[in-house]
Every structure is written in C-alpha cells, then in structure tokens.
Amino acid sequence: MNNPLIYLLEVANNLNSLAFGYYSQGRYEEASPLYQQALEIYQQLDYKHLDVASNLDNLARIKMYQFGNLEETESLYLQALEMRQKLLGTNHLDVIASLSRLADFYFKVTRYEDAEPFYLQALKTSEKLQSNETTDIADFQSALALNYSILERYEEAESFYVQALEMRQKLLGTEHPDVATSFEDLAGFYKYQGRCEEAETLYMQALEINQNFFGYEHLKVAASLSSLAGFYFYQRRYEKAEYFYVQSLEIQEKLDSEDFCDICDLQNLAQLYYDQGKYEAAEHFYAKLLVYFQELNGYEDDSAVTAQRNLDDCRHKIMELNT
C-alpha cells in the first residue's frame, strides 16, 4: 500500500475490531492493550471518528473495572465526550449518552459534586431534543434526585424524585413497574427524612403495582416485599418486618433465586430474630449465610468470617439460656 497514513489507519481499525471482539467476550486483559495500540495510532494520525470515541469508552470501562485506574478512566471518558461534541455538536443523543457515562462514573466513585453538572447537562439536552417527555428524562431526574439526596440538598432531591414519578405516570400509566420503582425511590427518601407515613403508603403502592403487573410469584414482587420489610425493620416494627421478609424469601426460594435481595433478606431476618432474643431462629439464618459465603468466596472471606462469628454468638446465647 503506497500511502502509509492509510495503512496505519487500517492497522488501527483492525486492532480496534479485534479489541472489541475480545471486549464483547469479556476477555478484557486481551482487549486492553489492543485498544491502547489502536488509540495511540489514532492520536498519532489526529484521527477523529465516532469509532474512536467508542474505543475510548470501552477502554475506560476496562481501566475502571479490570484495573481500578480511576484517573485514566476519567481522562478517557472526557476525551470521548469532547470528541463526540466536536463531531456531532452539543445537541445529540450520542453526546447525551457520553455525558451520562461520565456522570455515572463520578457517582460510582463518590464524586457527587462532579457528577451533578454532567447529569444536569444530560437532562437539559434531553429536554431540548426530546420535547421534555421521555423515560430517559425521568431516568436523569431520578439520578439527580439520588445525587442531591446524598449531598443533603433535600429540597432539590424531592423535586426531582417527584418530577420523575409524574413523568413516568404520564408516559407509562399508573400501573407500570417503572412507576413502582419511582414510588420506592421516593419512599426511601421519605423514610430517611422521617416522613414514615408517606413512605409506608408509597411502599405499599409499589408492591400492589408489581403484584398486579407480574403476579404474586415474581422476583420484582419479592424485591418490593423486601423493601417494605426493610422499612418496617428500620422502624423496629419487627412483626411486620418478619412477615414481609418471610414472604419475600418464600418467593425467592420457590423461584430458586440467589439474588443479592435474597442475601440481604437472610441477613436482615437473622438480625431481626437476634435483636428480639429469638436466637434459635437467628441461628438457622446465620447458618444458611455461612454456607452461602463459604461456597461463594471460601472460608477466609470476610463475609464468611462474620457469618461464622454471628453463628457462634447465637449458639453461645442458646447455651446460656439452656443452662
């Protein structure tokens, strides 16, 4: 090939394609150096293209989740955003997605003040492009609500939670699972604000929506039961908490689920029984947790060690009561 620049570009594109193949298979250690080589060639050629922006995004994910390199991850996401803005302008759906990725990154690494402007920009651009009424807008409102809640900017948080709920009700109807999610988000916010009557009502509404939509034996219903149980546990209303935890676990066991929800329920139910002095009931659930964590991560895992300590403590309490 006579033109060395075209040759280099083809090499970079081939490296990028091969890297994406490995990336799609979850073979990140093999994908990372190939993405890096392709990126270096693109930068050498000063080549701006949407495929390069995708390269930057994928490499950023690898750097974060595989290697934990946060500085490099941030730099790559910023480069991808800047490239899309130059190629597409600021008002484009791909730019919104890039803003969202960067905001989510900052949120995940607990840089909540850095996340705010990118969530806001993504929201405003979405409103401009999508006539103020899409579920994407509701998603950004929910993200901002949670971000503001963590930052203790509670008035702004409540405003965005309510806006997201109203948007989903308008677009999806009042009996949609996404509306139930909005109810639970707002309920959780009210719970920690001490507005427990409002929170309880919203948790109950969310449960009813999911039961009507999915039927009574579904993991979404189990999750709603667990949320309601957690609310009662938070209030130390142990009888109600126990009732809903048990219902949730029965559904999960029937569906043979090992979701995170299941593990949290086991932990909370064990703690609930322990706090009430029902040590034999607590022992049963701590024993199940111990087996789960040992099988998952081995005997030296921190969670397994904690479960063993809790189990030993329960058995000690039982022995004391029986002597």
Q: What percent of the chain has pLDDT over 70?
A: 98
Q: Is 258 inside any structural domain?
A: no
Tell me 301's DSSP state.
-
Summarised one tens digit per residue, pLDDT across range 259-316 is 655 788 888 899 999 989 999 999 998 998 888 888 888 888 888 899 899 999 999 9
**Alpha carbon distances (Å) from 269 to 132, 274, 277, 292, 309:** 43, 9, 12, 15, 16
Yes or no: say if 157 and 145 are a contact pair by the CB < 8 Å rule: yes
* Lowest-pLDDT choice from 105-109, 122-126, 318-322: 318-322
Q: Is 32 inside any structural domain?
A: yes
Q: Distance between CA 53 and CA 84 in Å, rounded?
A: 7
Q: Is 201 inside any structural domain?
A: no
Quote the tokens at residue 310: 């809790």
Token pair 């949730």 in the structure block, residue: 248
* Structural domain boundaries enclosing 70: 1-88
The mean pLDDT of 33-47, rounded to a whole number, is 91
Q: Is 196 inside any structural domain?
A: no
Tell me 47's DSSP state.
-
Token pair 């995940």 in the structure block, residue: 108
The mean pLDDT of 78-107, rounded to a whole number, is 97
Q: Which run of H or of E encompasses 219? A: helix 219-234
Task: Say yes or no to pLDDT of 252 above 60.
Answer: yes
Report the C-alpha dihedral over residues 235, 237, 243, 244, rounded to 10 degrees. -10
Yes or no: say if 269 and 245 are a contact pair by the CB < 8 Å rule: yes
Cα of 50 vs its chain's centroid, Å:
27
Q: Distance between CA 126 and CA 167 in Å, rounded?
A: 14
- Angle at 166 (CA atoms; ends 136, 220), nearest 5 degrees: 70
Q: Is 34 inside any structural domain?
A: yes
The mean pLDDT of 235-256, rounded to a whole number, is 91
Q: Is 35 inside any structural domain?
A: yes
- 89 phi and psi, to 5 degrees? 85, 175
Tally the C-alpha atoms within 13 A of residue 109's C-alpha that lie toward its C-beta: 16
* Overall domain count for the chain: 1
**Burial category of 25 from C-beta neighbours within 10 Å (exposed 0-12, middle 13-18, buried 19 and up):** exposed
Q: Report the candidate in 35, 39, 57, 37 with the shortest Cα–Cα distance to residue 48.
A: 39
Summarised one tens digit per residue, pLDDT across range 68-77 is 899 999 999 9
Q: Is 57 inside any structural domain?
A: yes
Q: Is 53 inside any structural domain?
A: yes
Q: Distance between CA 206 and CA 176 in Å, rounded?
A: 9
Q: What is the CATH number of the domain that holds 10?
A: 1.25.40.10
